[in-house]
Structure 1
């Protein structure tokens, strides 16, 4: 799930990467991605990137360029890898200083945490930098390492900051993971494609007891399915029936509804499986 800052319909996507520091001094990785229109912002946050509790939430708020102040709050959950229920989630309500919306400014401030019913949970601080600035610095460091005669080729191949950032920005679906996906629509669309070079990746997908695909070869040509939602959650079981000829099974699954698009890439060996639980809000 990688979004790169770009201009779409005269709007720029602003992305920041950093950490949340909780009141108990623990740290959690945090990413923001949003667009600003006439002082109003809208986008999403991702907490615990590539971690066992990775969660994507929608955010709305305001940016006052005169006061140099950014405010936002998390609302509905798009997806989560955490086993806790939706009512137990602690949503961030942030207020901090941002001198200007560009790739050179630091974003920092405090937040209060609130449950869905408005009750207080945990508070803390957020400290972030522009993702563009982080990527530029990583590219310079990678270039310096590549030029160094003091670093072996093996270590150069192993240490690549840009590749590490790309991994953090990719939503992998790993063996035995359970991802809860939330939607307000009556149906969602599941689209399957192989990532990169076609290498014979095969998967089976079951929607509860219904077979969507069985030991199917997934290529670069997308295959799409419509999955109806109701008050009862639908469990998609994704099983890697082969790992292809190049590394692990890497099939991209895209779930989309009228509001959100979720991209996940399988990272499993033959016989391993993971689940996506579709929940209608």
Structure 2
């Protein structure tokens, strides 16, 4: 495979981690946190804006990395002068090993600039610990995901032209096809040996399980703190609902692939429901392997008087 093809495929690998949300938002932007130390951290925000300028949505830090984290963002946007500000709070999930009180939450002020199609957003941010101490400073640089998708589609057209000269593997070609990678990376994925932590405020959680890919006879076992709650279950397209009691602060849910069916990997989707939020995770596992979701039960924070 020649150098130009490798460069294009590498670019696809970069962009595929920034795919669209299953839920539509008014604004969806991606780019990076540029720390004063010159370190770059991938960053994405999605949010809706109300008539009074209040915005609410989510941020994603270190996309597809070992510290990938999703948090709430809330703030204000003024469409007249294009100024925007928001703060992160309350982690929904993370792949990081750090505790919630060790997280550095972004507080941002900036402005939309330039071409409206790009929705270029730039500004300064301060990272703040839960105890209000500063943990980082730098800039945020983001651009509309729709603009990125157009660029990616142009790259894919270049690949098709190159293929006329150099044969490209059909598997590689299918992987980098825009509609395929956008679908594949639209949710949080945990692979064999990985663990993601989610944070809830309830003692009882509803969990739905179903086959995210082709129904091919995947068989799984799910354990909660090493006790089976679903054993040797053949995953179907139809959702299976389980009520899980969260008796402990940390409730480790293990998903084990007993049989991966006709395909090489098992792609089971799990949806977890708290009384005020929900989480979707795709377990992309090889046969005989496992991944884990650590469901951390938190106390409801009391509002200051």
TM-score normalised over the length of structure 2 = 0.83
**Which of 233, 257, 262 pairs up with 1:245?**
262
Quote the Cα distance in structure 2 between the aligned partners of 1:41 and 1:82: 27
**Which of 127, 133, 143 pairs up with 1:113?**
127
- Whether contact under 8 Å (1:69, 1:99) holds in the other structure is no
Matches within 5 A, 1:86-125: 86-99=100-113, 103-125=117-139
Q: 1:184 maps to which residue?
A: 201
**Which of 288, 291, 295 pairs up with 1:271?**
288
**Which of 207, 226, 245 pairs up with 2:243?**
226
**Which of 68, 72, 75 pairs up with 2:89?**
75
CA drift of 1:268 comes to: 1.4
Point out where structure 1 has 5 or more consecutive residues left out of the alignment: 7-11
1:159–1:263 CA distance, 2 compared to 1 (3 A)? closer
Confirm whether residue 157 of structure 1 aligns to residue 173 of structure 2. Answer: yes
Q: 1:175 maps to which residue?
A: 192
- Whether contact under 8 Å (1:253, 1:264) holds in the other structure is yes
Confirm whether residue 210 of structure 1 aligns to residue 223 of structure 2. Answer: no
Q: 1:9 maps to which residue?
A: none
SS in 2 for 1:146: helix
SS in 2 for 1:138: helix
Quote the Cα distance in structure 2 between the aligned partners of 1:104 and 1:197: 36
Q: 1:135 maps to which residue?
A: 149
**Which of 41, 44, 59 pairs up with 2:58?**
44
Point out where structure 2 has 5 or more consecutive residues left out of the alignment: 1-18, 299-305
The answer to which structure has the higher helix fraction is 2
- Whether contact under 8 Å (2:108, 2:124) holds in the other structure is yes
Q: 2:6 maps to which residue?
A: none
Quote the Cα distance in structure 2 between the aligned partners of 1:269 and 1:58: 32
- Whether contact under 8 Å (1:145, 1:151) holds in the other structure is no
- Whether contact under 8 Å (2:83, 2:109) holds in the other structure is yes
CA drift of 1:5 comes to: 6.7
1:4–1:264 CA distance, 2 compared to 1 (3 A)? closer
1:183–1:118 CA distance, 2 compared to 1 (3 A)? same
Matches within 5 A, 1:57-76: 57-76=71-90
Q: How many pairs align?
A: 276
What value does the CA root-mean-square deviation take over the aligned residues? 2.3
